[in-house]
Amino acid sequence: MAETVLDRFKLNDQVCLVTGASRGLGRAIALALAEAGAEVVVTARSQAALEETAAAIRQQGRRALAIPCDVRDPRAVAAVVDRTMAEFGRIDVLVNNAGGGEFKPLLETSEEEWLNWIDLDLHSVFRMCQAVGPRMIERRQGKIINMASMYGLNGERTATAYCASKGAVIQFTRALALEWAEHNIRVNALAPGFIYTALTSFIFDNPDLGSAFISRIPLKRVGQPEELGPLVVYLASDASAFMTGSVIVIDGGQTAA
């Protein structure tokens, strides 16, 4: 039977590594990849929450491996890759989702805080790509999906460190896509807008604060973590085989304004 359009979205037996997968966007992404047929390795700092994500993946009938990791630690990153290779023998897809930020005026931001957010949001992507890259280059195939943000494209008051780091992730993605295209490795990024998670609930559960943020979104609602899953599956699958160096924005239309 000829391959169908939907067949190209399947990830049967692909090995996917997702950072920051214990909750929020990372958990939703890991579950979406498993639903598409992938075996998933999940990493984060929280062991208990990470095991919950792995258990949910196994309930879908897929293999899951939970490995605690602080992506700011080069040795921990290397250990994750080594263990994944030992357990699965390859890494087909890397999703660099771990990250964070805060709203804080620049003059109230210490150098330590600045470096912490740059390290978490940008340097961690460098570390993971440098650790996984040789394995993908050896096999001449692989897909890397970096989590950027609409704030990597647009500025925002009191979010200088976050905007700087996510803007750098976008440029890192574009440059690496060019560098590794000869190895048949596709590198793309997602740039979400406001998404409801445990970390943003304090905004959107507050009627006054939440309404102020939502009023800036043309679709007049906040996004849900599960809405990123289909896009990640697309970028991880053969359906996006001719795409590299791209940034997909999912923000309810906010950056179009």
| DSSP character at residue 239 | G
Structure tokens belonging to residue 109: 């931001």
Catalytic residue among 151, 162, 196, 234: 162
Beta-bridge partners for 66? 42
Question: Is 150:196 a contact under the CB 8 Å cutoff?
Answer: no
First to last CA, the chain: 45
Question: Is 100:22 a contact under the CB 8 Å cutoff?
Answer: no
162 given a catalytic annotation: yes
Question: Is 92:16 a contact under the CB 8 Å cutoff?
Answer: yes
Radius of gyration of the chain (CA): 18
User: Coil, helix or strand for 149?
Assistant: coil
Question: Is 21:97 a contact under the CB 8 Å cutoff?
Answer: yes
Q: Which of 200, 240, 203 is nearest to 224 (CA)?
A: 200
Which residues are tagged catalytic? 162
